[in-house]
Each structure stands twice: as structure tokens, then as C-alpha cells.
Chain A
Amino acid sequence: MNQESLRKLVLETLGRIAPDADPAALDPAVNVRDQIDFDSMDFYNFAVALHEKLGVEIPESDYPRLSSIDGCVRYLQEKIDGRVAG
């Protein structure tokens, strides 16, 4: 999966959890929680959805890397590349 389709997936997932937020309008470099109401329960649902769609393990200690859309895409790309390599 390339960066573009990963980004699409991340935005779609955000949109499903926070349909009123219009994820496309968010600044991808900035923490999502600083831009919209997004609490720990929303984040939990977000992480579960990414885990289920991509089959990647996301340790709790890596959660901070998922805080912005750009960070999320980078992190997931690394995870997927690592899995393919491994």
C-alpha cells in the first residue's frame, strides 16, 4: 500500500468516527486532537479500525506517533514495510 492510499484510508477512518469534522480540511501536520473534539474513546476506535483494516500491531507506546495525519501515514508505512521485509 502506498502513501497516497494510506492517507486516504486514514482520512476515511477519521471521517467515519468524526463525520462532522471534515478530515480533509484538517492540517495534516498538526495533532488532530488540537483541531477537533477527539477524545480517548474516539482515538481508541480510530486505532482499532486501523489495526483491523491493515492488520498491523500498534503498541500503546507508539500511540503518540498517531497524533497527526502525517505522523499516522508515516508510522503505518513503516509498519507495513517492516512487515513485508520481515
Chain B
Amino acid sequence: MSEFRMPSLGADMEAGTLTRWLVGEGDTVHRGDIIAVVETVKGAIDVEVFEDGRVEKLLVEPGTEVPVGTPLARIRSEGEPAAAPAVQETQAARPRAAAPGGAAVATRRRVSPAARRRARELGVDAEALEGEGPVTVADVERAAGSGPARAVPPGGMRAAIAAAMSRSKREIPHYYLQTSVDMGAALERLAAWNAERPVPERLLPAVLLLRAAARAAARYPEMNGWYRDGAHAPSAAVHAGMATALRGGGLVAPALHDADGRPLPELMRALADLVSRARTGRLRSSEMADPTITVTSLGEQGVESVLPVIFPPQVAIVGFGSIVERPWVVAGKVVPRPVVRVSLAADHRVSDGHRGARFLAGIGRLLENPEEP
């Protein structure tokens, strides 16, 4: 028997509200299944179970806010003897909250992060609204009978970001390094690849940048992992937190798992899917819990350089500016080249500028000598 607990979805989370069960007592679950939805200041998160078994007992009613670590359900492993008959009776008598498997997932309605915030302000049950596609702010306001949309300040999320970044600046002795990288070869290869392929197989420059940072992180363990209990705990896997701006304000940095090892086309699909789910309020608990390094790209705004703040308990963050055409010296001649500014903020408790410089140079080499997609 094991307990399924309220997960910690980031260092800044203290409590969460169980919004909905997607399984009922007696249902069989498999490792990786999404079995509950938890509301946090970062929006609704789909929570996965980490073992195979059967749901013995649901311990927390939907709508209840509980601290991180609180048992939410009891799960009996495969092969483990059934519990007392009383539980079996309860199970038989109690109407199922949801059909087993994916049926419940398919029927409940998604709610965008901004709509969820607005719903909370107006006291609307956003997931219960009828219609197609994700619930929007306009849907919520219609349901509440309130006036036209206005800017909704993301109060809870802003407070959570403030808490995490204050802790970072208070506890982590940051050092910063920057370098410029010629993206010419990488972009030529990208254009050639994209020209021959249909839309879904094309790559964006963002995935090249992400991939280079992840591959370099795999070689420099001081940049990858967490600082916990006074020591660095390096991670063997590279789960790159993708800093993603949300429409209507706010920021999440969910993990793109194993970003160093997957083929580029697969990584591109995973990245597009992750960003899309972050913006429509459909992230999973494992993505919130385990980034080992963060990558932030402010290129869309035309900004050339970013000096980012580390997300605790991580120990490094890599920033990319816009790819811009700049004078560049090639074989003694000044030529225009597409150039990106790469920056690193890293934790001095774990590494020094010397290692940081090698890591940053490693990212540069990977970008200037592009791999086959």
C-alpha cells in the first residue's frame, strides 16, 4: 500500500487545492496516468501517479486545499492482497466519480490560466461551463454576468514568482557570463531541412538553442541539478525548464524531459506541445516538479541579451537573446552574420566562472557546428 500525496510542484509551492479526481475507488492505474487535477497559483496541473496499482481509497474531497505532502489517496500495488472488506463495500456503494481510463479526461473542459484566475475572482466553476474548446475569460465573465473583459492581474502567480525570485537573490550567489555565437551555419542547415518538409516536421531556431544548452548541461554536471540541504545534487538526466510567458501575465518554466538525448524533430514537437499546454493550462505534475536547469529565450521581443535569475533549487539558467544580423569577423574580413547572445547565470556555491565559461563555450561550439537533425 502506498500513499499518493499532494506533490511539490516547484520550490515555491506550499499547498494546493485538489480540484478533481479523474479516477474512482477501485480503478486500476498505471505509472504515468493522470489521476487528479490540482490547482496551484501557476494554474491547474494534471497530476500523474508514479506506480501501477489499484485506487483503494480517495482521502481528500475535491475543493480541499491541503499542504504539500498530504496523502490524497491510498494505492494498492499489483499483487498486494486486498484490504479489509469494509473498503470493498464502500467501493461498491459509492458511485464512481469518473469512468476508468481516459474517458473522464476527454470529457472535462480545459480552462485557460487567465480564465481560471478570473473564475476564482468571480466565484464561477469554470470547468462546469458548457461549450467547446478551452474555457476563456469571456466565457467566465458571461457566466458570471459581469461586464466586459478587463486586465486581470495575476495576483497569486505574481506573488509566487516574487517569492521564488526573492529567495534566489537572497540565497544564491549568482555569477554571470555572456558570449556571442555565429548562428549562420545552424540557420542554413535549418532552412535546408525546413524547405523539404511539411509544416509539422519543421524546426524553429528555439529548439536548436534549447538542444545546445541541454547537451552542454549533460557534460557539465555543476550546471545541472539542484542545491539541497547545503550541497549540490547533480542530475544524470537533463530536464530543461522552458521559461514560458503566459498571455495575460505570469511565467511558468515546465520541464522538457531528456532534452539532451532526443532527436531534434521529436524535441521540436515536444517543445511546441509543452508551450501550448503551458498557455492553455494543461501542464503535468512531473513537468512542474523536476526541471534540472532552465532555458529562457527573450528573442521574440527583439532584445539582444538577458541576464536571468536562477530558479531555486536549480543551480544555473541559460539565456538567449534575439538572433540579429551583426558585423562579424570571418578569416580577417568583416561580414554580416546572424548572431545570438548567450548568457549564463550560475550558482557560486556549486561552480566558478572558469567552469561556467567552459560550459558557455560548449554551447557556442554546439551551435556553430550544427548536428544533423
Q: A39-B300, A41-B272 are in contact. Are A16 and B133 (CB under 8 A)?
A: yes
For A20, list chain B residues within 8 Å (CB): 112-115, 136-137, 247-248
A51 to B200, CA, bound (A): 8
Residue of B nearest to A24 (CB): B138
Q: A51-B199, A51-B200 are in contact. Are A18 and B272 (CB under 8 A)?
A: no
Number of A-B contacts (CB under 8 A): 74
Q: A39-B300, A45-B276, A60-B194 are in contact. Are A19 and B133 (CB under 8 A)?
A: yes
For B134, list chain A residues within 8 Å (CB): 15-16, 19
Contact call B272/A44, Cβ cutoff below 8 A: yes
Of B110, B113, B206, the contact of A41 (CB 8 Å cutoff) = B206
A16 to B114, CA, bound (A): 14
Contact call A48/B272, Cβ cutoff below 8 A: yes
Contact call A52/B200, Cβ cutoff below 8 A: yes
Is A40 in the interface zone, CB < 8 Å from B?
Answer: yes
Q: How far is the CB of A17 from chain B (nearest CB, A)?
A: 7
A37 to B134, CA, bound (A): 17
Classify the secondary structure of B's interface with A.
helix
Most interface-central of A41, A45, A50, A52 (chain B CB within 10 A): A41
Is B149 in the interface zone, CB < 8 Å from A?
Answer: yes
Is A57 in the interface zone, CB < 8 Å from B?
Answer: yes
A37 to B191, CA, bound (A): 25
Instruction: Tally chain B residues at the interface, Cβ within 8 Å.
Output: 31
Residue of B nearest to A60 (CB): B194
Is B85 in the interface zone, CB < 8 Å from A?
Answer: no
A18 to B204, CA, bound (A): 19
For B271, list chain A residues within 8 Å (CB): 41
A12 to B110, CA, bound (A): 15
Is B123 in the interface zone, CB < 8 Å from A?
Answer: no
Contact call A22/B200, Cβ cutoff below 8 A: no
A48 to B27, CA, bound (A): 36
Residue of B nearest to A39 (CB): B300
A52 to B272, CA, bound (A): 15
Q: How far is the CB of B82 from chain A (nearest CB, A)?
A: 44
Is A6 in the interface zone, CB < 8 Å from B?
Answer: no
Give me 17 other A-B pairs in contact (C-beta within 8 A), A16-B134, A22-B149, A41-B204 excluded.
A17-B280, A19-B135, A20-B113, A20-B136, A22-B136, A22-B137, A22-B138, A39-B300, A40-B300, A41-B271, A42-B276, A42-B279, A45-B275, A57-B198, A57-B199, A58-B199, A60-B194
A-B contact pairs, 7 of them (CB 8 A): A18-B247, A20-B112, A21-B247, A40-B300, A44-B202, A45-B275, A59-B195
Q: Which residues of A contact B (CB under 8 A)?
A: 12, 15-22, 36-37, 39-42, 44-45, 47-48, 50-52, 57-60
| A-B CB proximity, top 8 nearest | A19-B112, A19-B134, A51-B199, A20-B114, A41-B275, A39-B300, A19-B136, A37-B247
